[in-house]
Structure 1
Amino acid sequence: MTRANQSSVSEFLLLGLSRQPQQQQLLFGLFLSMYLATVLGNLLILLAISTDSRLHTPMYFFLSNLSFVDICFSSITVPKMLTNHILRSQTISFSGCLTQMYFLFEFADMDNFILAVMSYDRFVAVCHPLHYTTRMTPQLCALMVAGSWVIAVLNSLLHTLLMARLSFCADNRIPHFFCDVMLLLKLSCSDTHLNEMVFLIEGGLVMITPFVCILASYIHITCAVLRIPSTKGKWKAFSTCGSHLAVVSLFYGTIIAVYFNPSSSHSAEKDTVATVMYTVVTPMLNPFIYSLRNKDMKGALRKMIGRRTCST
């Protein structure tokens, strides 16, 4: 994936979020806290699902995959930022930058696909409850997750190989805390037309298709819920989708703010806040959203923590 021997730039400088020493100390503590909360929260979700047999259902199978992906997603960017702060270094090698970009694409795509698969699971549960067990079989669930991984890997590889063919001749400063693809394209002294076209068309298709599937699922869910005569029944049906809707809103809202707004409305500060939201904040909030709004998950966590306390 490297092309350092064909480019005059062998490393990049990650300028981070601030150049003020006091702000850097504050950001270090904040990002460290958020990263630890992300890892701990998602690990608890994984442990609760794996140890409680009541949670061995398609919905929680997908949730466990989402938690795993969120841990990996945050681990691609935040530890490097924290390490650079400790070592007083801003550098990242050319190959390291491409590797980081590859995994960012892969785990962002996986977040996207798993949210779409979870919306289909909720669609079947609400609109076809009597056929849920026959439709959402373990084989189908495994196939959907495996297919998502294959598409995410191929998509990431395509964008990374296209980036590796570019040359970087002079400016190697990236005004961010990770190797963002759009910022790398701006630094390149090669013709980036092909990269931009593929990013907009193929990358947009990869992001928009799952989003359309999510919208279609919730249109059907809403129509089915509105046909329920009792208010209590409607609330119960909608409550099963509340956590997923909250996560979808966070994830897609921030990505749309960064990549799908007119360039005239962009500013460095707004883009930075939005990227921090979907790369750091959203993975941290996901376990809290699902555990606080879900009785089964709260019960499994209490049971697991109680068992650990008794054993000690």
Structure 2
Amino acid sequence: PQTSDLRNGSTAAEFILVGFEKSSPPTRALLFTVFLALYSLAMAMNGLIIFITWTNSSLSSPMCFFLGHLSFLDICFITTTIPQMLTHLVTKNHMVSFVSCMTQMYLVFFLGVAECILLAFMAYDRYAAICHPLNYAQIMSRQVCVRLVCPSWIFGMINGIFLAYISFRNPFCKDNHIENFFCEAPIVIALSCVGPQFSMKLIFADAIVVLLSPMVLIITSYARILASILCRTSSSGRGKTFSTCASHLTVVIFLYTSATFSYMNPRRTHRPDKDEPFSLLYTIITPMCNPIIYSFRNKEMKGAMGRALGRGNLAQ
């Protein structure tokens, strides 16, 4: 294994990702095949959703508009980490430069935060559709949707810059081995030799704001949706309403659970064998599941995907 001694006070010029270094060659080959298949599926499904939501005039609802942006975020997100992981599974050189590591971390934060905020606005869209159906078109007009999407991108960019700076502001003189398959902030910060505890507290505080603030909007929206559903006497109406929310709730649970365990746990309770499964969950499993969940739970989307694939009977 490649080693580097940084105890003389010099800062790391490069890092070594050792997430799968201990795996045997057959295991790495199997992982490469599985992750390549998952990555290809995620790219194909998200790409198809982007194509049909941005070119099909019949899919003009606010939820489809948000879903197109969500799929675009997912494509960017998985491309930030998975191609590098696949390369490291088949090569012996697991080094990444300081600049590459910082850039990757910035993109992960930028895209991840933007997706968290976008999911909160999608919950508000479900609230407006269910609780105010007669005024839904005015409440969620195209102008309003654009005004909701733009802040998610802008805040994600600003937050990514802040967190990348916090993670790399101190010199790295302990070690340059990252116990993961990408440059994850808490693990990188732990390698710094000056005040890593303060940086970890800033990351934790930021995670509280970024994760819990959108979660408040999501919980509030669904609390009002639940109250509206319980007031209805028709059981079929309740089932239909629950069905329209199930897709979004599933995606929210996947993303927020994995992100919470990765960034809101005390680092003393973390071990590489515990961190990697959650990292895999929000870097590849969630982006792959998003289009599948939405396409199979949405009749409009199923019909459009069937027509796009030349199989109109898919909707049936």
Partner of 2:6: none
* Structure 2 segments unaligned to the other structure (5+ residues): 1-8
1:307 Cα deviation after fit: 8.1
**2-side partners of 1:237 and 1:169: how far apart?**
55
SS in 2 for 1:92: strand
Out of 126, 129, 135, which is 2:130 matched to? 126
Q: Over aligned residues, Cα RMSD in angstroms?
A: 1.7
Partner of 2:93: 89
**2-side partners of 1:81 and 1:119: how far apart?**
33
Out of 147, 151, 166, which is 2:151 matched to? 147
Task: From the superposition, tell whether residues 170 and 201 of structure 1 become closer, same or farther in structure 2 (CA, over 3 Å).
Answer: closer
* Count of matched residue positions in the alignment of Structure 1 and Structure 2: 303
Partner of 2:14: 11
**2-side partners of 1:183 and 1:204: how far apart?**
18
SS in 2 for 1:107: helix
**1-side partners of 2:103 and 2:31: how far apart?**
24
Partner of 1:297: 301
Q: Which runs of 4+ in 1 moved over 3 A?
A: 261-267
* Structure 1 segments unaligned to the other structure (5+ residues): 1-5
Paired residues of 1:116 and 1:214 also in contact (CA < 8 A): yes
What letter corresponds to residue 298 of structure 1 in structure 2?
K
Give the alignment's TM-score, normalised by structure 2: 0.91
1:168 Cα deviation after fit: 0.9
1:264 Cα deviation after fit: 6.1
Paired residues of 1:73 and 1:104 also in contact (CA < 8 A): yes
Partner of 1:78: 82
1:265 Cα deviation after fit: 5.0
Give the alignment's TM-score, normalised by structure 1: 0.93
Moved more, 78-87 or 95-104: 78-87
Aligned counterparts, 1:192-207, within 5 A: 192-207=196-211
Partner of 2:284: 280
Partner of 1:160: 164
1:10 Cα deviation after fit: 0.5
Which structure: greater helix fraction?
1
Q: Percent identity?
A: 40
Partner of 1:62: 66
Partner of 1:3: none
SS in 2 for 1:12: strand
Q: For each residue in 1:282-312, what CA deviation from the matched residue of structure 2 results, as whole angstroms up to 9, or x when unmatched?
A: 100111101111111110011111189xxxx
Aligned counterparts, 1:171-190, within 5 A: 171-190=175-194
